[in-house]
Amino acid sequence: MRQSYDVVIIGAGPAGIFAAIELTKEGGAAPTVLLIEQGQDIEARDRGQLTRGWGGSGAYSDGKLILSTQVGGWLADYIPTKDLNSLIEYVDGVYLEFGGEAERFGDKPEKIKQLKRAATLADLELIPVIVRHLGTDICLKVLKNMRQHLGSRIDIAADTAVAEVVAADGRATGVKLADGTVIEAGAVIAAPGRAGARWLAAEATRLGLAKHANQVDLGVRVEVPAPVMEPLTDDFYEAKLVYRSKQFEDRVRTFCVNPYGEVTKEQYHDNIETVNGHSYADRRTANTNFALLVSTTFTEPFTEPIAYGEYIARLANLLGEGIIVQRLGDLMRGHRSTAARLARSTVRPTLVDATPGDLSFVLPYRYISDILEMLAAMDKIAPGVNSRNTLLYGVEVKFYSQRLKLSAGLETDLPGLFAIGDGAGITRGLIQASAAGIVAARAIAKGSRMNGQTTNH
Ligand SMILES: Cc1cc2nc3c(=O)[nH]c(=O)nc-3n(C[C@H](O)[C@H](O)[C@H](O)COP(=O)(O)OP(=O)(O)OC[C@H]3O[C@@H](n4cnc5c(N)ncnc54)[C@H](O)[C@@H]3O)c2cc1C
């Protein structure tokens, strides 16, 4: 490690790795780059470190490359859709170049047209999503290839945490490591992922950077007999449907569809239990599950969307001693589900230790109303979704990191400090996190903060 670099990158997840690849690509300015990762290097890490180490959260991910401007992040808020589409194609090309060969799903134009039409007639919007499913094995192989490629081009410091971003004269000038070492830099890219989101938010507060509260997505996991969802699941890996509710004009969306899958529990910090779902490649259940989530962005004075989501999840845990499950018919009739009522349902719950209860004591009226409207709309394209037998599990909640105020090049209010990826609250998937790395690298190259030609702009 030297004392000074053109660019220092914090975090070796997809965002940081792609920034490094772009900065050092053939024919470029060949800047000096240091990539610092608090976790272990690729050969040393294991599944026990799910979100830390070379590859970040991507290393043991399912490797679903979601090739969409509207799913997997909010880069469309910074980059025109046309440019973002080209960028996503470019990123996909880089994954392919490093060995990410896999089949594409969801790109049959005739099927998309048919489903789009049916969705429109049902007052729903279909967001066509093309997915390349690498799977964990190929994902790891790609990350190893990238590590090898970058090994001869940049300096890499694994098992090294950045404690602070150093600023002087109104701009970022480097980083301070946990052991107190200061490394100077022309530009700093912070790509700390969800593992480092709190750290980045604290640094932003210390440095006086402008932030926006992000949304919180709250709702239920829906479980139906698999044939009910087959009109959607047969041709699409994951059909993303969006509904604008009539009463509140809230955005309600489907998320994480698991054909023939299982509903699962997820443990959040502070012992909060939330619901989730997954499906196995080699084992099928009789049911399909998916989440229905309502997105809420609070306005002033409230700035704690994560606390709000946690509060609702805790309420469900308080009443149900964990996850609550309710038949849709019981919810509509205004009474709780009981074990006896559940036994009369044609849908057998795949999460067996959920407590039969009443979600209307947990979710505010607004959320219940939005979800009931969405189920009625979905029933028009997947008849049976709105059946009294449908099971609803609560609550499912998705939290996102606080967003910093960023320019189109993803630079913060502090010149020279870029914030990208999931930790900056602007992405939530491999493709958009990787794309964010490219955006920051290109902005730095354009601002010529390298080869000692660092300029303020
Ligand atoms: C189990 C799992 C499955 C997933 N499956 C998919 C999927 O199939 N498809 C998909 O699109 N997305 C998936 N995701 C999400 C995807 O992995 C993330 O969106 C993506 O990895 C975000 O990239 P990132 O570079 O922003 O952050 P990360 O990948 O989280 O990397 C950030 C890195 O920064 C390091 N870091 C943090 N703070 C510091 C510091 N102070 N100093 C030094 N280093 C630091 C962390 O240790 C980490 O390695 C999955 C995530 C998980 C956890």
- For the chain (457 residues), the mean pLDDT of every run of 10, in chain order, is 96 98 90 97 84 90 87 94 97 96 84 94 93 84 96 97 97 97 98 91 94 89 97 83 97 92 84 86 88 93 86 96 97 97 95 97 98 98 97 92 91 97 94 98 82 38
Residue with CA closest to ligand 1 atom 10: 429
Q: To test the ligand 1 pocket, which listed residue (430, 431, 438) has its Cβ within 8 A of the most ligand atoms?
A: 430
CA of 429 to the centre of ligand 1 (A): 8
Contact between residue 37 and residue 156 where contact means Cβ atoms under 8 Å apart: yes
CA of 420 to the centre of ligand 1 (A): 11
- CA Rg, the chain, in Å? 23
CA of 430 to the centre of ligand 1 (A): 8
Residues in a beta bridge with 171: 168
Residue with CA closest to ligand 1 atom 18: 429
* Pocket (CB within 6 angstroms of ligand 1): 10-16, 36-39, 50-53, 56-58, 60-64, 66, 72, 161-162, 191-196, 199, 421-423, 427-431, 433
| Pairing between β-strand 155-157 and β-strand 262-268 as defined by DSSP bridges | unpaired
Phi, psi for residue 183 in degrees, rounded to 5: -120, 125
Residue with CA closest to ligand 1 atom 12: 429
Give the CATH number of domain 4-212+403-446; options: 3.40.50.300, 3.50.50.60, 3.30.70.920, 2.30.130.10. 3.50.50.60
CA distances in angstroms from 428 to 6, 116, 287, 447, listed in the order given? 28, 25, 27, 27
Question: CB neighbours of 425 closer than 8 A, spacing ≥ 6?
Answer: 197, 214, 400, 401, 402, 403, 404
CA of 57 to the centre of ligand 1 (A): 3
CA of 20 to the centre of ligand 1 (A): 16
Question: CB neighbours of 370 closer than 8 A, spacing ≥ 6?
Answer: 245, 247, 248, 250, 252, 294
Contact between residue 197 and residue 91 where contact means Cβ atoms under 8 Å apart: no
What residue segments make up the domains of the chain, in order of their start? 4-212+403-446, 216-399
CA of 132 to the centre of ligand 1 (A): 18
pLDDT for res 454:
40
pLDDT for res 278:
83
Q: How many of the other CB atoms lie within 10 Å of CB of 51?
A: 18
